[in-house]
Structure 1
């Protein structure tokens, strides 16, 4: 009889622990990623769980991660920037155009792309901090300008 109470008590404790873990966003995200990886590995066993595929996934995520860390710093400071995606597209397009059309060496083209992104961010910060333009309006306007520039490059 005592064993039954102990097993029911263990079951309630494990359910409570699982419920507590699922309410935490970090654990829910990790569990979701693990489930997606397992399902994709079962559905595509020849292609998905390979070293080459995972290295490509991490390589493709590297740029997004760098941008996300920069955005996180802005959000922690209580600010935001709507033009980030357009700036990434413009700076990458500029570097690629310099390499392809003008045969600029890779390090120089990458430096030019990063310099353009830095200049755009500096202009945004200057107009927001010194001139006093609303950050949402300024970064939205810069997003449109830079997106147009990305389409032209």
Structure 2
């Protein structure tokens, strides 16, 4: 399903936004194939700011093949002809979500971000822990 053109009205975190579609219906959108640091996780705020710099209050195109268990649309977000999901990985603001991504392009972007120490890969202070591991550790406490 392609939702098409939508206006970004809120950034929830580094991989979730709220949009208004052409009929002014609000949708919660989870960026497909990436996983950004959680809000309370190191680099979570910076990841959210990075996504805001890419799509905040802009019109984007959404390609949404599915809906998750929280009823969020799972989408590739396009802005200015750019794949925003890939840009988040390339800028070091998110990981490739290994459980869901089946391609190779995002992995190449992640490897480049790591080797060039962009974003969350820049400093050891963030102890770059993938969000899926961070969430698991939090549940076990």
Larger relative helix fraction: 1
Larger radius of gyration: 1
TM-score by length of 1: 0.26
Larger relative strand fraction: 2
